[in-house]
Structure 1
């Protein structure tokens, strides 16, 4: 499990855009170890979404976020 968490942390903090590195990397650093398996899987799926789409999710209230990600995206934005 430790290797899996390290891979997620690396992917979260090496996105390609500085904004996503900061948002996702800092969230991962603070929360990965305490997240349940379901949320870890959702976070892993979020990491596969292109940065421009994620940026829209995080920067605009008018964007429709797929329902299965809504709670986790809100948590990331806290």
Structure 2
């Protein structure tokens, strides 16, 4: 994980992304944040802030395509999350 000590907002988002409650959600949401947040502008950060307020089972279901994505989360960021090639599980 990157150190975001110079930006409280990014530090808070990274903490929330990596402390979800299950290891699976931590890896999916945390790795997504770590891999892509540097490319995001205000709109993308706001999207992610809203997303991480949702339940893990919902986020994972949307990312895995097992449940329909609500319209307000549909779009390029969710499409990118659904690729799942960013998940890096240490072995």
Same fold (TM over 0.5): yes
TM-score by length of 2: 0.74
- 5+ residue gaps, structure 1, are none
Question: 1:53 — aligned with what?
Answer: 58
Task: Calculate the aligned-residue CA RMSD, in Å.
Answer: 1.6
Q: Secondary structure at the match of 1:6?
A: helix
Per the TM alignment, residue 18 of structure 1 is displaced from its structure 2 partner at its CA by: 1.0
TM-score by length of 1: 0.85
Aligned length: 77
Looking at secondary structure, tell me which structure has more helix per residue: 1
The runs of at least 4 consecutive aligned structure 1 residues that moved more than 4 Å come to none
1:7-56 deviations in whole A, cap 9, x for unaligned? 10110011001111001111111211220100100101100000111121
Alpha-carbon contact 2:17-2:33 (below 8 Å) kept: yes
- 5+ residue gaps, structure 2, are 1-5, 84-91
Mark the structure with the bigger radius of gyration: 2
